[in-house]
Amino acid sequence: MRYFVTGGAGFIGSNMVDRLLGLGHEVVVYDNFSTGRREFLENAGKYESFTLIEGDTLDLEKLKKSMAGCEFVFHFAANADVRMGCEHPKKDLEQNTIATFHVLEAMRENSIRKIGFSSTGSVYGEAAVIPTPEDAPFPVQTSLYAASKLAGEGMIAAYCEGFDFTAYIFRFVSILGERYTHGHVFDFYRKLQEDPDKLYILGNGKQRKSYLYVQDCLDAILTVIEKAQEKVNIYNLGTDEYCEVNDSAGWISEKMGLSPVFEYAGGERGWIGDNPFIYLDTAKVRGLGWTPKYSIKDGVLKTVEFLERNTWVFDVRD
Amino acid sequence: MRYFVTGGAGFIGSNMVDRLLGLGHEVVVYDNFSTGRREFLENAGKYESFTLIEGDTLDLEKLKKSMAGCEFVFHFAANADVRMGCEHPKKDLEQNTIATFHVLEAMRENSIRKIGFSSTGSVYGEAAVIPTPEDAPFPVQTSLYAASKLAGEGMIAAYCEGFDFTAYIFRFVSILGERYTHGHVFDFYRKLQEDPDKLYILGNGKQRKSYLYVQDCLDAILTVIEKAQEKVNIYNLGTDEYCEVNDSAGWISEKMGLSPVFEYAGGERGWIGDNPFIYLDTAKVRGLGWTPKYSIKDGVLKTVEFLERNTWVFDVRD
């Protein structure tokens, strides 16, 4: 099978690329390297079945040409910065909503009808039901990031109805692991490298969050694509546990051999639109036989180990 | 109060404009006349408190300038053609999703923080619960039109969270009444004018739909804006009844004094993404004291009367 992976040089994308190549598939990566890293494709570059195209999802014509001959599209490219939406509202619209429309149009142009899409558990807003199942009460959006992912989900589902596409939509908790280059573990690690004596935490540290290790995430995605039978297949992906930001900060500090004082910005939320409790019901994906192999703590520790071995990811780029 | 009304020359928009002017408010209409009609603003033009600006919601700079001094925005401008999404997928993205983003940005630029938005009951897709309440199970989208309205709802809610906006989002059933220029009554009336002996009906005629008369719709909108207290106020608007397309076709024929043979395209759905059963739970808006004064049949008959008095609306325009 020939896969097309947008954002294939990014965190989840590049891990999926390695997985697909290892399974013997052909892979075309399409990435603009705005947040993706060439280093994450070093392993992929060893495969003859690998093609790299440097391109932007906002460049519809290039996207259309680049997809020729592919049979399945993983659309991972996105502005994944959930916190800063209010500082540049256009970014989520362009890089998530409009980019997803372009991916769908490029697929239609090339008669490709299968898409895997990275959505987010943030689409549940401040969920009325926790753990939150896929058919939770119709939520109210609380961030531009989640609103743009929901817009993507909606268009994808409409293409399934209108153009006979099949979609696999994944509502992730935060993903952790190798090649992780943003989010709280990344931020805490960097802050503790700069000042090992104290750690400044957004909110009151009691925000409860759920996380999933990236290899477990890939297993889940591939299980769903193999087994799910609907036209529009929507699955929560996460572990059956959550932790407080304080727990995670403690694990990170301990792993680094540090005992910093935690200082808090205060408030229930770390930022505007932050959800103080994210915990997804994953019974649906477990029903397909998938189960995570790693705990949240495992994922946090593996992420710290990756950062320790790859301090170059902290280098500021142009 | 100075209101800004996008799509103010359209069906619902122009009726709202007349209502607001009659209540003594100032009104700025912003319309590109792609589907709006100058004739619908004849009454409004008699008021000194009325201003017309011919402009497109895709022209962000003009939109920003035009909103200056307004305190409340009704965003009615939209591509309202739910059926033809698959023939021009970009139209819903541009005229609904991106246009709504522009309206929000123009509001932010002008420090206007209150918005009324015409969404649609179609966002419930093929609802799992009927009558469908606002907090129905998280739906799967079935049309690009509904997906684009949902995208609009999501951005609006995120602006409420991020920029302290207050929003009044209305999920309409189909609206009927004076100045109605698209939809099944319009189509049936035109077809019966052309051929009084037979009426070709999309689907099997057994699709069950709900409708609301436009003046009842305006009453409901103004009641919600007066009484609802949340940051994001989402309300279904509809009657507590539904009818079959066959019923409506019969009322229209009878009103026109005709006895046509009904011919059917067949199938449960009139078009791709058509929902064979739309019926919204309106307990929430009724809880605010609103109740419709007219039945679905009243609304259909009033629409036919309007079309009889205004056959010019059928004239093809450039």
Structure tokens at B317: 């325009």
Asked whether A276 and A269 are in contact (CB, 8 A), the reply is: yes
Is B273 in contact with A161 (Cβ distance < 8 A)? yes
B194: CB partners within 8 A, 6+ apart: none
Which of B125, B150, B273 lies nearest to residue A162, judging by beta carbons? Answer: B273
Complete domains list, chain A, with CATH:
2-175+211-237 (3.40.50.720), 180-210+241-281+293-317 (3.90.25.10)
Tell me the helices (H) and strands (E) count for chain A, helix number first: 10, 13
- In Å, the largest CA–CA distance within chain B is 57
Q: What is the pLDDT of residue B275?
A: 83
Give yes or no for a contact between B182 and B35, defined as CB atoms under 8 angstroms apart: yes
pLDDT at A85: 67
B129/A contact by beta carbon, under 8 A? no
Task: Report the residue of chain A nearest B231, measured CA to CA.
Answer: A140
**Which residue type sits at A308?**
E
The per-residue pLDDT for A315 is: 83
State whether residue B122 sits within 8 Å of chain A by CB.
Answer: no
What is the per-residue pLDDT for B176?
A: 96
Interface ipTM: 0.95
* Contact (CB, 8 A) for A255 and A249: no
Q: What is the DSSP pairing of strand B243-244 with strand B208-209?
A: antiparallel
Instruction: Please write the tens of the pLDDT for every residue from A211-257.
Output: 999 999 999 999 999 999 999 999 999 999 999 999 999 999 999 99
Query: Which residue in B137, B142, B154 is closest to A137 by CB distance?
Result: B137
Size of interface A-B (CB pairs under 8 A): 134
From CA B213, how far away is CA B11, in angstroms rounded? Answer: 12
H or E element in which residue B163 lies: helix B144-163
- Distance CA(A31)–CA(A38), nearest Å, equals 10
**Max Cα-Cα span within chain A:** 57
Render pLDDT for B72-92 as a digit per residue (tens, 0 to 9): 999 999 998 777 667 889 999
Phi, psi angle pair for A213, to nearest 5°: -75, 140
- Chain B partners of A140 at a C-beta cutoff of 8 Å? 157, 232, 234
Give this prediction's pTM. 0.96
Report the pLDDT value the prediction gives residue A283, as an integer from 0 to 100: 98
Distance of CA A314 to the CA centre of its chain: 19
pLDDT digits (tens, 9 = 90+) for B94-137: 999 999 999 999 999 999 999 999 999 999 999 999 999 999 99
Q: Residue B200 carries which DSSP code?
A: E
How many other C-beta atoms lie within 10 A of the C-beta of residue B151? Answer: 30
- Asked if the Cβ–Cβ distance from B232 to A158 is below 8 Å, we say no
Q: Nearest chain A residue to B232 by CA: give it.
A: A140
**Residues B260, B198: contact at Cβ < 8 Å?**
yes
Among B155, B156, B159, B268, most A C-beta atoms within 10 A, so best to mutate, is B155
Closest partner residue to A141 (CB to CB) among B135, B141, B157 is B157
Instruction: Determine, for residues B98 and A101 on separate chains, whether the beta-carbon distance falls below 8 Å.
Output: no
Nearest chain A residue to B151 by CA distance is: A151
CB contact B138 to A (< 8 Å): yes
